[in-house]
Amino acid sequence: MLHNGHMAERVEQPEGIRDQAPNYPWDEWGDGAWWRCTWGRDFVCSVPGFRASVYQNARARGRAAQTRVEGHSVIFRFVPKED
């Protein structure tokens, strides 16, 4: 038994932690055009984290993504998936 008789406990939401991630306009950004999103203006997570979100949201919509990081910006577009 991994927990040695101890169970996880429910706690109040810690101060400074949001209820959910920011809602980004992925449907708009997924229109096939190139988009530049810049840290601190368009997103608040890390640049690598946002880039990973681009790929994840493209996959969730049955698409693929092309990306490039330039400094604090992620440039991307959603494209049709290649089979």
* Domain definitions of the chain by residue range: 40-71
* pLDDT (0 to 100) of residue 3: 60
**Which of left, alpha, beta for 5 (phi over 0: left; psi -120 to 50: alpha)?**
left
Sign of CA dihedral 54, 29, 74, 41: negative
pTM: 0.74
Q: Over the chain, what is the mean pLDDT?
A: 90
pLDDT, tens digit, 9 for 90 and up, residues 35-54: 999 999 999 999 999 999 99
